[in-house]
Amino acid sequence: MTQAKICFIGAGNMTRSIVSGIVKSGYPSHLVHATNPSQAKLDALKADFGIEVSNENTQAAAEADVIVLSVKPQLMQQVCEQMQHLDLSNKLIITIAAGITASRYSDYFNQPIKLIRTMPNTPTQLGVGMTGLYADASISAEHKAICQTLMQTGGKVLWVDKEEDLNQVIALAGSSPAYFFLFIEAMIESGIKMGMDAANARALAEQAALGAAQMVIENQDLSLATLRNNVTSKGGTTAQAIATFEQGDLRGLVDQAMNNCVDRAEEMAKLF
């Protein structure tokens, strides 16, 4: 594993997820730094993971070998512009932002940079994340290996050949934990309406979700339809539930949601 000094600019949800993976993998915490304007998130990161923290983006970036840009897309330009005077020629810059194309960052920093675009997701904090990675031909194998090693501490990675494919990664992995949370949330609400205690409804739904995901992963030779059919007795209870989803065009809704997700990433690429 690389012993690079890593600096996260922005210490929100996603930085917390990635830092958690990195530190839990055994990466020395004194080599990891996070910055944020407000102190509370920094204090929590320091307490939980023992990393370095500060409010000084420029100083932290100047001292780092790897800079991870982890602010919201709307703030990215302003944050990068404040670092324009740094010499970034020997640094690897990793961005996790949705919807900002790689070429924009050299404009923001006003100098040529070595940048890898990534699209992680929040399960990274548990080591079961999924991160899409994109680098153009100018990025060295060494820098790609550093980025891959770091992001793999949070789970699996997938390199994409074309930058626009990262938008599909957003729809399938970056944003998708929220789809599953919504589905589980709706199941729990329904269970409660049926009269079940909230804690019990959550326990049942979350364990079913975990078991279902594990079955998908551990049965690579089986199609999703087969796994579904194995639960669905003819004339039974599951058949009624599945028929309800199909009549409501759940597949069409999912397709629409994922296309809207990609469309928004494309819109953001024009905005920023």
Ligand X SMILES: NC(=O)C1=CN([C@@H]2O[C@H](COP(=O)(O)OP(=O)(O)OC[C@H]3O[C@@H](n4cnc5c(N)ncnc54)[C@H](O)[C@@H]3O)[C@@H](O)[C@H]2O)C=CC1
Residue 12 known to bind ligand: yes
> Coil, strand, or helix at residue 145?
helix
- Beta 52-54 vs 32-35: how paired, if at all? parallel
188 annotated among ligand-binding-site residues: no
CB of 173 to ligand A1CAB, least distance (A): 9
Give how far Cα 50 sits from Cα of 28, 31, 91, 126, 231, Å: 9, 10, 24, 17, 46
Residue 13 assigned ligand-binding role: yes
Greatest CA separation for the chain: 69
Q: Is 167 in the site for ligand A1CAB (CB under 6 A)?
A: no
Q: In this complex, which beta carbon is closest to ligand A1CAB, that of residue 88 or of residue 174?
A: 174
Report helix, strand or coil for 100. coil
Tell me the residue number closest to ligand X, measured at CB.
12
Which one of the spans 3-11, 44-52, 169-177, 183-191 is the region binding ligand A1CAB (CB under 6 A)?
Answer: 169-177
Residues 6+ apart with CB under 8 A from 260: none
| 102 lies in the binding site for ligand A1CAB (CB under 6 A) | no
CB of 118 to ligand A1CAB, least distance (A): 11
Q: Is 174 in the site for ligand A1CAB (CB under 6 A)?
A: yes
Structure tokens at 31: 């080599």
Which stretch of DSSP H or E encloses residue 106?
A: helix 102-109
Q: Which does 171 bind (CB under 5 to 8 A by kind): ligand A1CAB, ligand X, none?
A: none
3-state SS, residue 130: strand
Measured from the CB atom, is 100 or 201 closer to ligand X? 100
- Compute the distance between CA of residue 210 and CA of residue 205 in angstroms, rounded to an integer: 9
- Please tell me whether residue 223 adopts helix, strand or coil conformation: coil
By CB under 6 A, name the binding residues for ligand X: 9-15, 35-38, 41, 57, 70-73, 75, 79, 96-98, 119-122, 174
Helix or strand run (H / E) with residue 140: none
Residue closer to ligand A1CAB, measured from CB, 80 or 170: 170
Q: For ligand A1CAB, which stretch binds (CB under 6 A), given 104-112, 168-176, 223-231, 235-243?
A: 168-176
Residues of this chain that bind ligand A1CAB (CB under 6 A): 98, 170, 174-175
Q: List the binding residues.
A: 9-14, 57
